[in-house]
Structure 1
Amino acid sequence: MMKLSFLEPLFAEPGPWASVQLDTSQDIDDPGRAIDLRRRHLRDALRVQGADTATVSALDTAADLRQELPGGRHGRAVFAAHGHVVMTAALPEPPVRDTARFGALPDALPLAVQRAPDIPYLAVRLLRDCRASQDGAQGVHRTSAHVQVIAETGRWPLARVRPGPRFSHLVPLEEWPYTAPHIARHLDELADRHRAEVVVLGHAPEDSWAAGVLVNRMPIHLQNRVALVGPGDDVTDRATGRALLETEAARVLDRRLSAEDRRQVDTFHAQRARHPHKSEGITAAVTALQRAQTRSLLLTRSPALPEALWWAEEPPWIALSAGEFDTFGVTAPRAEPAGAVLLHAAVRTGTDLVVLPPDETPSTEGVAVLLRYRDPADMAPV
């Protein structure tokens, strides 16, 4: 379950808003030139849509990505209004296409979706470290073997562009059986502090013994969260600023729901069995958001949304058509892209977001709602 409170600065002041999502990937020849070209196209697009010069200039300055960026593939979202930048955020994956929009609401749904499933995890890599030393008295060269433990916390998939803190510990191989219990306790404390749901443990085949010793010294509740993977590439991680065991973590965590998301989806299925018309589709979502009844908005990554929805600054904020606002006595509603309107209503009503993998599609439209409370009529038997 993703809390949308990180987007509140985008709804704390009125628009119009300039919203940009651009590809900032570094895995191409001359990425700086490519990014500058994209920036120029986005500036031109905003001007065509009527964006003021001060806002375009502020946004363009924030999108100047000549500063050091992590390696690999990623993107950046930037939001500006009234001549100043309100938010800039990294995207774990580059957008499908660069976008620039100037409108009454910020176009922030792609940013929110990219942060899902937002799983807290712990990555741990075991490495065999053989070091040569020289005995000063006899001039004899000796080689000693060590086990190096590297651990890093993160939230998936944001860790791809914002890795968490690391710690490293070097243990002589012969001392590993006696030191592993201390390492296991430290990892347990780290996982508990970070509320890690998964421990991604990477090691080479020749280090299976060391990995087995460490796992067996963990408390059972931590053992049950361990996913054993390959050793990863320590040199690549450090050189590019990417997350520890990033590729291996992706295989474990992609297409997975967080524990809270799973609970929400299970509750939704029970709700849908009794009240499908109040649970599935864009009409159900708009109705629940109008009434501030939505606990969570459930979306697939590519929902079949209408081109636009209607909204107003004052409640109920959202409707399928302009005529619905006459009933509420709201004047001057506006039509805006459906994703921007849904997200605006979700943030304003304290609704959480659950982004579903393809096999969890709640309806043919890819849109559903988990209700915060029920009408009295809902308590009646079906």
Structure 2
Amino acid sequence: MKLSFLAPLYAQPGPYACAYVDTSRDIDDPDSAVELRRRHLRDELAAQGADPATVEALADVVGTDRDVPGRHGQAIFAAHGQLALVEELPEPPVHDRARYVTVPDALPLAAQHAPDIPYAAVVVRRADLRGETGAQQAALRVELESGRWPISSVAPGNRLHRRVPADEWQEAAAELVAELEALADRGGAEVIVVCGVVWARGVLIHHLPQRLRERVLTVEGDALAEDTGRALLERELGELFRDRMATHDRERIGRFLAERAREGGAAEGLSATVAALQRGQAGVLLLNRPAQFPRRLWAGPEPAQIALSAADLQSFGVSAVEEQPADAALIRAVVGTGAELVVVPQDDLPLDDGVGVLLRYADRATPS
């Protein structure tokens, strides 16, 4: 998973006010609940020393996602009196969290993007269409949407709508395939999920080119409800993608296991991971979920300036060093060095210290 969406957090030096807040709408009087959370976040950040302008910049956007229904949250970052980044969270935090820190508290947001599976969804519903004489005629209503799971559950992509007379479906399906193909290719969809009227979806799938037909998965259920303001087929996608990883990430894990077996271009443990990020060697950071690091790290002003001790950084000529939570320092280094992130459950692949790296290159100076 690429982390370019976090780049705005490192465009300028901190300190940053960071907040993770539950803004769910599936409770009684959600506006009052969100207002109470806003006040608590404001007080907490002020108590940590955040300047009033930065506190207000963050607090002003808490709960502005009223158009997102159901359970969800917000991740909000501000610095120097200005908003830096706001993202919707598919799952609200267990507890609201506010920090005023030099290095942004970005790992919880990055982890909620995983497994970051690109897909396209298609639903074919029965509908009615009023003809020129005013009479009702049988029709099919088609909806197409692409996204990246699970973030798309609360931030769905553009949705295309088409309504077609049922007796014209054979011809219309061939035309819709061109739109679906463009949508899937534009989003790099590795899965095409199709739901709805059985005979109609069969015709649509039949018209797909072989390379897309191989990616099709059909689902059943109550997916034919009206638009909820969340992802098309959200419940079905949640069941389909549970415990699934993106193809790209599975390939990275396969390479990591192969390189580790021959003691080549892979390493694990916090010490080896830090060394690889320092030298720009890390192509992929593998991170166990849940992430539990055994110690904090030291960081300098630049992303790759991380170390296990202040003395290590100072030996490289870095004078401005500060102790930081390991998760924040590691994610900043990953973004700053252009590496990727793969989040993997600990039960599937336990890593020393919960972290490992797939290297871009290895040489004699690479720690074993």
Q: Which residue pairs with 1:48 in the alignment?
A: 47
With structure 1 as the length reference, what TM-score do the two structures score? 0.89
Aligned to 2:177, the other structure's residue is in SS state helix
Is contact 1:32-1:66 (8 Å) kept? Answer: no
The whole-number CA distance in structure 2 between the counterparts of 1:36 and 1:276 is 53
Q: 279, 284, 293: which is aligned to 1:291?
A: 279
Is contact 2:301-2:320 (8 Å) kept? Answer: no
Aligned to 1:19, the other structure's residue is in SS state strand
1:173 aligns with 2:166: yes
What per-residue deviation string (whole Å, max 9, x for no partner) do you get for residues 189-240 of structure 1? 321222211111112xxx322222221221111111111112544545x2x4
Q: Which residue pairs with 1:87 in the alignment?
A: 85
With structure 2 as the length reference, what TM-score do the two structures score? 0.92
Is contact 2:265-2:361 (8 Å) kept? Answer: no
Q: Which residue pairs with 1:139 in the alignment?
A: none
What per-residue deviation string (whole Å, max 9, x for no partner) do you get for residues 307-338 of structure 1? 42111124751111223224323334211111
Q: Which residue pairs with 1:304 in the alignment?
A: 292
**Aligned positions of 1:352-363 closer than 5 A:** 352-363=340-351
Opposite residue 148 of structure 1, the aligned amino acid is R
Q: 164, 175, 180: which is aligned to 1:182?
A: 175
The whole-number CA distance in structure 2 between the counterparts of 1:53 and 1:155 is 36
Q: Which residue pairs with 1:144 in the alignment?
A: 137
Structure 1: which 5+ residue stretches go unaligned? 137-141
Is contact 2:290-2:345 (8 Å) kept? Answer: no
Opposite residue 122 of structure 1, the aligned amino acid is A
Deviates more, 1:34-43 or 1:273-282: 273-282
Distance of aligned partners of 1:148 and 1:162 in 2 relative to their CA distance in 1, 3 Å threshold: same
Distance of aligned partners of 1:306 and 1:209 in 2 relative to their CA distance in 1, 3 Å threshold: same
Distance of aligned partners of 1:52 and 1:244 in 2 relative to their CA distance in 1, 3 Å threshold: same
Aligned to 2:60, the other structure's residue is in SS state helix
Deviates more, 1:9-18 or 1:165-174: 165-174
Q: Which residue pairs with 2:319 in the alignment?
A: 331
The whole-number CA distance in structure 2 between the counterparts of 1:119 and 1:149 is 23
Give how far 1:181 is off: 2.3
**Aligned positions of 1:216-231 closer than 5 A:** 216-231=206-221
Q: Which residue pairs with 1:154 in the alignment?
A: 147
Give how far 1:266 is off: 1.2
Deviates more, 1:362-371 or 1:242-251: 362-371
Distance of aligned partners of 1:306 and 1:358 in 2 relative to their CA distance in 1, 3 Å threshold: closer
The whole-number CA distance in structure 1 between the counterparts of 2:39 and 2:128 is 51
Aligned length: 367
Q: Which residue pairs with 2:310 in the alignment?
A: 322
Give how far 1:179 is off: 2.9
Distance of aligned partners of 1:220 and 1:316 in 2 relative to their CA distance in 1, 3 Å threshold: closer
Q: Which residue pairs with 2:112 in the alignment?
A: 114
The whole-number CA distance in structure 2 between the counterparts of 1:330 and 1:227 is 53
Is contact 2:288-2:351 (8 Å) kept? Answer: no
1:102 aligns with 2:100: yes
Is contact 1:109-1:339 (8 Å) kept? Answer: yes
Is contact 1:256-1:357 (8 Å) kept? Answer: no
Q: Which residue pairs with 2:76 in the alignment?
A: 78
What per-residue deviation string (whole Å, max 9, x for no partner) do you get for residues 280-333 of structure 1? 121221111111110011112312213421111247511112232243233342
Is contact 1:294-1:370 (8 Å) kept? Answer: yes
Q: Which residue pairs with 2:35 in the alignment?
A: 36
What per-residue deviation string (whole Å, max 9, x for no partner) do you get for residues 346-379 of structure 1? 122111111224553241533111101111578x
Q: Which residue pairs with 1:164 in the alignment?
A: 157
The whole-number CA distance in structure 2 between the counterparts of 1:216 and 1:53 is 60
1:275 aligns with 2:274: no
Q: CA RMSD in A?
A: 2.4
Deviates more, 1:182-191 or 1:93-102: 182-191
The whole-number CA distance in structure 1 between the counterparts of 2:156 and 2:265 is 42
Give how far 1:66 is off: 4.7
Opposite residue 9 of structure 1, the aligned amino acid is P
Is contact 2:119-2:149 (8 Å) kept? Answer: yes
What per-residue deviation string (whole Å, max 9, x for no partner) do you get for residues 249-272 of structure 1? 112223222222122111111111
Opposite residue 208 of structure 1, the aligned amino acid is V
Give how far 1:166 is off: 1.4
Is contact 1:282-1:367 (8 Å) kept? Answer: yes
The whole-number CA distance in structure 2 between the counterparts of 1:39 and 1:283 is 39
Distance of aligned partners of 1:314 and 1:156 in 2 relative to their CA distance in 1, 3 Å threshold: closer
1:341 aligns with 2:329: yes
Is contact 1:234-1:244 (8 Å) kept? Answer: no
Opposite residue 105 of structure 2, the aligned amino acid is D
**Aligned positions of 1:204-243 closer than 5 A:** 207-236=197-226, 238=227, 240-243=228-231
Aligned to 2:121, the other structure's residue is in SS state strand
Opposite residue 84 of structure 1, the aligned amino acid is Q
Aligned to 2:310, the other structure's residue is in SS state coil
Aligned to 1:222, the other structure's residue is in SS state helix
Q: Which residue pairs with 1:20 in the alignment?
A: 19
The whole-number CA distance in structure 2 between the counterparts of 1:371 and 1:334 is 27
Aligned to 1:323, the other structure's residue is in SS state helix
Larger Rg: 1
Distance of aligned partners of 1:50 and 1:215 in 2 relative to their CA distance in 1, 3 Å threshold: same
Opposite residue 284 of structure 1, the aligned amino acid is A
